[in-house]
Structure 1
Amino acid sequence: MNEKELLISIIRQNVKDSTFRCRPQNHRRPIPHHGRTIIIFSEGHNHLISATLLSSCPLLLPYRYLSYSREHHVAPYFPHSILYQLASDDVLISVGFCFSEGIYVADDLQIFRIVLRTSSAANYIGLSILDENDCHPSQERQMEEPVAGFPFLRIKDMPLFSTQNHTRKVLTCIYNGTKTASAIIWNSLWCLEHALFKKIEDETLVPVFPIGPLQKHYSNFSTNVLSEEQSCIAWLDKQAPSSVVYVSTGSVITMSKDELLEMAWGLANSDQPFLWVVRACLVNGSDGVEQLPREFHEATRSRCRIASWLPQQKVLAHKSIGCFLTHNGWNSTIESIAEGIPMLCWPRVGDQRVNARFVSHVWRVGLQLEDRLLRDEIDRAIRTLFMDEEGIKIQKQAKELKKNVEISLRQGGASSDFLARLVKYIRLQETMIRLSNA
C-alpha cells in the first residue's frame, strides 16, 4: 500500500509509569502526515508480539509507537481524544489483544476492530462452552468425564480458574471480546487446528487468519547477552544432542516448596542432564534455589544447570534439548512445537490445561503429568520420553510437526498465505470505508 495512505500506531500500556507519552519513531520510512490509521493496542510484554506482527508484514510500515500508562488495572480507561489525534481523517482499524482497552475504545468509537488472539483455537472453543454451561463440577468423579460437544477435553481440562468469578472475568474479556470482532488474527497454525478454525468461522461469521507462530516471523535475538545466559548456552554446547531436559514453568506460575522438591528429585532421579529455570519468586514468592537441599546439588552437580532467566526460543532451538518440562502456556507450547521438542506437561490454570491435553492426546507430541506433582511420575515420564517405544513415537511425531510448521511458513504455505490474505483484507476494508465516506 502506498505509504501516504496508511499509518500504524502502536499504543502500549506501561503500568510502571503513570504518565502518558507520545514518542513518534521513524522506522525505515518517514511517518506520513495524512491518511487512514491502524491502531495496535499492546499490554505489558505483549508489545513484542506487536513488533512481530509489524515485522512480518510489509504493509504494516511505517508505524509509530505510542505509550500510555496507569498505576493500577482498574476500570477500562483510555483518553479518546488521543485516538482522534492519530489521524487527520478516520481511524480505520483497531488491532487489539483481548484484555486491551482497545476493545472498549474501538467499539465505543465504532472503529473496525481486529482481535489478535495469543492462545489456541481450542482454548477459544473451551471458553465458548463455558459461556453456555456451568463447567464447575460439584463432584470429584465428574472431573474425568468428557466435555459435551468437545470430547477432546475432559471436564478437568477446561480453561477454568480458581473461582467462578475469576473464570467469568476471563471469559468476558477474552471470549466475548473475540466473538464481537470484525476479524481474528491467531498466533496458531492451520495444520494444528484447521477443524477448529472452520468451526469458529462458521459460528462467528468473520474471517480468521492463523499466521503463527509469530516468533518465527521475527527471529532477531538481543545482542545484549547476560553472563548467566552465556554460561548456560556454553554448558548446552557440551551436552549430547537431544539429551537435555529443559524445565521452565513460565513467568507467572508459582509452586509450593513440596512441589519444588518433588520436581527437583524427579529430575535428579531420571539420570538425564537438565537445565532448570528457577525464578527468584518461584516458590510462593520466595527464592526457589535457596530451598533446594544440599543433597540435591551434590547429586546433580555434574549434569545440572540452574538459571533465574533464559531466552526460551534460543534454548529450545539448541541441538542438545531433548525434552521440555512446561506449564503449557500457549507461547511455550507453540515455541516447543516449532522446534520439534517433545513436552512433559504440567498445566496449572486456564488455557494451560487445554493446551496440555491437545499436546498429549491430539497432536501426541508429549506426556501429561496428572494431578499431584510426584517425583516418581516425573522420573518415569522422562525415561519414557527418552528411552521407551512410546517416547520414540512421540519424538518422531514432534519432528513431523516441526516440518509442518516450516512448510506453513514458506511461501505458499498456510501461515504465509493467511498473512497475505490479512494484508488484502485490511486493504479491502480501507477501500470500503473510503468509498462509504466519499
Structure 2
Amino acid sequence: MDNQGTTSILQNRIVLFPLPFQGHINPMFQLANILHSRGFNISMIHTKYNFPNPSKYPHFNFHIISDGLLESGVSNPVNIIKFLNSNCVEPFRECLDRLMFDYHVDCVITDANWPFTQAIADSVNLPRIVLRTSSICSFLAFAAVSLFRDKGYFSNLDSNMDAPIEEFPPLKIKDIPQGEITSNSEDVFQIIDAMVQQTKKASALIFNTFSELEEPDLPKLYNQFLMQTFTIGPFHKFFSASTTSLLTHDMNSISWLDKQEPKSVLYVSFGSVATMDTQKLQEVAFGLANSKQPFLWVIRPGLVNGSEWIETLPNEILESISERGYIVKWAPQQEVLSHFAIGGFWTHSGWNSTLESICEGVPMICSSFFGDQMTNSRYVSDVWKIGIKLEKGLERDEIENAIRRLMVEKEGDGMRERILCLKEKIDVCLNTGGSSYQSLEKLVDFITSLRSSTV
C-alpha cells in the first residue's frame, strides 16, 4: 500500500523508517512532524506490524512493506527485532528504490535498530541519518556492552549485584539488562553490536534529548561517534505523541483527576511493552493500597502474562484500591502528567516517559524492566536526583516506602525542586537561541546541504 497523494515527480523529500514499537514510533513521527514544519516533504516507510492509521497524517506519504511477522509466531522484543532485521531487507530495498525513482530523496532517517539499512543506503549513495530514541547515557552504555563482556560482568550477574561498574559510573552490575543477556545472550550481543557499528558509519546522529540534561556525556559521545550529532529534544514539546498511540486513551482518567487535590495523585504506568506475572502485579497492588495515597494506575491489556486485564487481582485488593485509586487500560500520558493533581509518576523508565515527566516537573519512582530503562532509572535516581529507583524490583514494602518518600516526605520535595529546575531549562532550550533550537537549525541546514551530494 502506497499513499502517494498528489506529490510531483522528483520532489525533494526525506524518507523515514521507524522501528515498529510504540516507544520508537512516537519519536520518529514527532521528528517527521518537526521536519515537515520546516518545509521538508516526508515519506514514511513502515512495516505491516503496528502500521499506523495514515488518515491521521495526510501530510505524509506512507509506504507499507511486508515483514512476515504475523506468520512467524515470534513474540518477545529481542526476537522481533532480530526477525525484522532479517526479513525486511529486500522489501525495504525495493521500496527505497521506488522512492528514489519517483523523487529526489535528500536522505533516509532510520531508527538505530535498523542496522541493515546502512549498507542499502551506501549502495545507492544515499546519506543515512540515525535516530536514536534513547538517552545519550543509555546509548553509551550499549556501546560499552562489549567492554562489559570482556571484563566478565555478564558472568557475575548473580553475585554482588550492587557493585559499581568502575568503567561506567554510576551504573551498577544490576543495571546491566541481565534478563535479556542470559536468555538471549548471543542474539542480544549481535543486535547491540550491529546497532553500534552501523551507527558509526552513518552521516549524522539525532537524539531526542536536550544538551543541558546530558552535558557531561556529550564529550564521550563525540569521541566515540565521529559525526554530526543533533540534540533537538524533547520532541513532544513540538508535537504530541497522542496521534501515534497504538492503544485507545481512556479520557475518563482526566475526569477522575479533575476531582483530586493538587499534587496528590501518583500516576502509575509501565509502558507499552513491559510484562510481569500475577505475583508481581499483586505486589504492585498491595504497595499502592498500603501507601494510602491516591493513584491513577494503567494496567495495559497484556501487561500480565496470560491475563486479559485485572481479573487476577483478588477482590480484597480491588476493594481497597477502589477507595482511593482509579484503574484504566491506557491513559493520555502527556495530558495526565501535566494535570494539576499529579504529584508523582511511577514509571518503567522508558526514555519517552522519562522526558515527558521532566517536561512537566513530575518526580519519579523507577521500575526498569529491560534495555535502556536500566540506565535511565539509575541516572534519574543517582545523577539527576529527580526520582527513586526500586532497587529490589517489585516488593510491596519497598513500593509503599518509596511512594511515601516521594509523595509526602521532604525527600520528595527536594526531587520536585530539582526537576522543576530541569523543566525551566527545557523551556529555555526550545526558545529562540536555546540549545535545542540551535541544534534543530543546524540539522535543517545539514539535510539541505545533502541535496548536492545526492543529485
- Could you tell me how far apart the structure 1 residues matched to 2:196 and 2:350 are? 17
1:424 aligns with 2:435: no
- Could you tell me how far apart the structure 1 residues matched to 2:5 and 2:269 are? 35
In structure 1, the partner of 2:40 is 61
- Could you tell me how far apart the structure 2 residues matched to 1:339 and 1:118 are? 20
Other structure's SS at 1:229 match: coil
Q: What RMSD in Å do the two structures reach over aligned CA positions?
A: 2.3
Output the amino acid matched with 1:52: Q
What is the Cα deviation at residue 90 of structure 1? 5.9
Q: CA 1:218–1:372 in 2, change beyond 3 Å: closer, same or farther?
A: closer
In structure 1, the partner of 2:4 is 24
> For residues 111-143 of structure 1, what are the alpha-carbon distances to aligned partners after superposition, in whole Å with 9 as ceiling and x for unaligned?
211000100111111112112331303263342
In structure 1, the partner of 2:15 is 39
Task: Tell me if the contact between 1:41 and 1:102 (Cα under 8 Å) persists in the aligned partners.
Answer: no
> For residues 275-333 of structure 1, what are the alpha-carbon distances to aligned partners after superposition, in whole Å with 9 as ceiling and x for unaligned?
11112222213134111111122223231110111121121111111111111111111
What is the Cα deviation at residue 149 of structure 1? 2.6
Q: How does 1:19-418 map to 2 (within 5 A)?
A: 21-25=1-5, 31-44=7-20, 45=22, 46-57=24-35, 58-63=37-42, 64-72=61-69, 73-74=83-84, 75=86, 76-79=88-91, 80-88=93-101, 91-100=105-114, 101-134=116-149, 135-138=153-156, 140-160=158-178, 161-163=180-182, 164-219=185-240, 221=242, 229-418=250-439
Moved over 6 A (4+): none
- Could you tell me how far apart the structure 1 residues matched to 2:126 and 2:241 are? 33
- Could you tell me how far apart the structure 2 residues matched to 1:328 and 1:47 are? 17
Task: Tell me if the contact between 2:110 and 2:130 (Cα under 8 Å) persists in the aligned partners.
Answer: yes
Output the amino acid matched with 2:379: F
Report the TM-score when normalising by structure 1. 0.87
Output the amino acid matched with 1:96: T
In structure 2, the partner of 1:4 is none
> For residues 372-430 of structure 1, what are the alpha-carbon distances to aligned partners after superposition, in whole Å with 9 as ceiling and x for unaligned?
32111111111111222211101111111111111111121111111111001112222
- Could you tell me how far apart the structure 2 residues matched to 1:414 and 1:130 are? 30
Task: Tell me if the contact between 2:248 and 2:330 (Cα under 8 Å) persists in the aligned partners.
Answer: no
5+ residue gaps, structure 1 = 1-20
136-145 or 320-329: bigger deviation: 136-145
- Could you tell me how far apart the structure 1 residues matched to 2:187 and 2:414 are? 38
What is the Cα deviation at residue 218 of structure 1? 0.4
Task: Tell me if the contact between 1:36 and 1:87 (Cα under 8 Å) persists in the aligned partners.
Answer: no
What is the Cα deviation at residue 104 of structure 1? 4.0
Task: Tell me if the contact between 1:153 and 1:354 (Cα under 8 Å) persists in the aligned partners.
Answer: yes
Task: Tell me if the contact between 1:345 and 1:366 (Cα under 8 Å) persists in the aligned partners.
Answer: yes
What is the Cα deviation at residue 357 of structure 1? 0.1
Output the amino acid matched with 2:240: S
Q: CA 1:62–1:169 in 2, change beyond 3 Å: closer, same or farther?
A: same
Q: CA 1:298–1:228 in 2, change beyond 3 Å: closer, same or farther?
A: farther
Other structure's SS at 1:340 match: coil
Task: Tell me if the contact between 2:268 and 2:297 (Cα under 8 Å) persists in the aligned partners.
Answer: yes
Task: Tell me if the contact between 1:358 and 1:364 (Cα under 8 Å) persists in the aligned partners.
Answer: yes
5+ residue gaps, structure 2 = 43-60, 70-82
Other structure's SS at 1:144 match: coil
In structure 2, the partner of 1:7 is none
Other structure's SS at 2:273 match: coil
Task: Tell me if the contact between 1:83 and 1:91 (Cα under 8 Å) persists in the aligned partners.
Answer: no
Output the amino acid matched with 1:149: E
Determine what percentage of the aligned residue pairs are the same residue.
36
- Could you tell me how far apart the structure 2 residues matched to 1:227 and 1:258 are? 27
In structure 2, the partner of 1:8 is none
- Could you tell me how far apart the structure 2 residues matched to 1:204 and 1:228 are? 39
- Could you tell me how far apart the structure 2 residues matched to 1:329 and 1:145 are? 24
What is the Cα deviation at residue 96 of structure 1? 0.4
Other structure's SS at 1:116 match: strand
Other structure's SS at 1:289 match: coil
Report the TM-score when normalising by structure 2. 0.84
Q: CA 1:257–1:365 in 2, change beyond 3 Å: closer, same or farther?
A: same
Output the amino acid matched with 1:292: L
- Could you tell me how far apart the structure 1 residues matched to 2:451 and 2:243 are? 35
Output the amino acid matched with 2:106: L
What is the Cα deviation at residue 270 of structure 1? 0.8
- Could you tell me how far apart the structure 2 residues matched to 1:223 and 1:433 are? 31
- Could you tell me how far apart the structure 2 residues matched to 1:211 and 1:311 are? 23
Q: Give aligned pairs, total.
A: 409
What is the Cα deviation at residue 51 of structure 1? 2.9
- Could you tell me how far apart the structure 2 residues matched to 1:155 and 1:321 are? 33
What is the Cα deviation at residue 256 of structure 1? 1.6
> For residues 159-216 of structure 1, what are the alpha-carbon distances to aligned partners after superposition, in whole Å with 9 as ceiling and x for unaligned?
4424222431331343223222111010111011122122211222101101111111
- Could you tell me how far apart the structure 1 residues matched to 2:398 and 2:305 are? 23
117-126 or 139-148: bigger deviation: 139-148
Q: CA 1:360–1:98 in 2, change beyond 3 Å: closer, same or farther?
A: same
